[in-house]
Amino acid sequence: MEKKVLIASDSTTDLNSELIERYGVKTVPLTVNLGEKSYVDGVDVDPDMIYRYYEENGRLPKTAAPNVVDFTDFFGKYTSEGYDIVLFTISSEMSSTYNNARLAAEEFEGVYVIDTRNLSTGGGLALVTAGDMAAKGCSAREIAEYCAALTNRIDASFVIDNLEFLYKGGRCSALAALGANLLKIKPCVAVRNGKMGVIRKYRGRYESVLEKYVLDQIGDVSEVEPDHIFVTHAGCDPTVNQRCVDIVKSLGYFKEVHLTRAGCTISSHCGRNTLGVLFIRKTALK
């Protein structure tokens, strides 16, 4: 008899409450440090607190991965309740979370740790895929093997309105940030091979840019898996978010279009007014 399967993740996958409840997802949170104070990601800190802190202090927050003990305690609790566990983490290129979870998992049978090679709902796409498989009765091993192979098909990208957070975080030069802002350039940042990089640049009003970006990024829908697609934003105007959702729905292809808000991790990197469309391709990304 197969054991019960628990789908879990760190706190970077940015699923909304409906999806967390649907799949019974359990979370191991990162720590967010605002100055001298430490907070638990998604528990006592949210993106709006990060924006307020930056506006008041001019400093970005720092995030810290759960340590090996945190994961050991988590795995111990749920394996003792009879679960096999599949846990998903932010890209190992961006955080030590995966390595800490992997080390902890070595002490347990039936615990599988997947490096999503992604962030935000890029990782969330692997998570909901796992949840769908668990609902069909797949074992933890089957889910882990499939989802580990899935990561190179996840297409995750975001368009950023203002480069201030990227500049402050040391991810672009002052000259690049100034030039982009003066020329109204909106970079499209994608995750490839576990790292973030600019793949395209748009110019113009942010709202108009997003409409073009959504269709550009999806491209030929026949090359995309139809089950799930995410529109994920960091503090964008609700009408802008809904417009992007409506554009995706107008394609008449996707079974479920999910609107989610980015959590503290992506908000710390990219800042307010960042929006992405994220989905799974049928073949590996180049």
pLDDT value for 179: 43
**Sequence ranges of the chain with CATH classification 3.40.50.10170:** 4-151
In the chain, CATH 3.30.1180.10 covers: 154-281
**Can you tell me the distance from the alpha carbon of 125 to that of 114, in angstroms, rounded to the nearest whole number?**
13
- At the second CATH level, the architecture of 154-281 is 2-Layer Sandwich (3.30)
Whole-number pLDDT of residue 173: 43
Q: CA Rg, the chain, in Å?
A: 19
Alpha-carbon distance 21 to 167, whole Å? 37
Q: What is the pLDDT of residue 242?
A: 97
> Residue 28: its pLDDT value, please?
97
Q: What is the dihedral of CA 52, 53, 58, 64, to 10 degrees?
A: -130
- In this structure, the number of other CB atoms found within 10 A of the CB of residue 92 comes to 16
Give the integer Cα–Cα distance in Å for 188 and 200.
Answer: 5
Torsion sign, CA atoms 221, 223, 228, 233: negative
Q: Which residues contact 214 (CB under 8 A, 6 or more apart)?
A: 231, 244, 247, 248, 277
Query: Which CATH number applies to 4-151: 3.40.50.10170, 3.50.7.10, 3.30.365.10, 3.30.200.20?
Result: 3.40.50.10170
Are 277 and 217 within 8 A, CB to CB?
yes
Q: State residue 220's pLDDT score.
A: 96
What is the token pair recorded at 225? 């898996």
Per-residue pLDDT of the chain in tens (286 residues, 90 and over written 9): 568 999 999 999 999 999 999 999 999 999 999 989 999 998 999 999 988 998 899 888 888 999 999 999 999 999 999 999 999 999 999 999 999 999 999 999 999 999 999 999 999 999 999 999 999 999 999 999 999 999 999 999 999 887 665 645 554 444 344 444 545 678 888 999 998 888 888 988 999 999 999 999 999 999 999 999 999 999 999 999 999 999 999 999 999 999 999 998 878 877 888 999 999 999 999 8
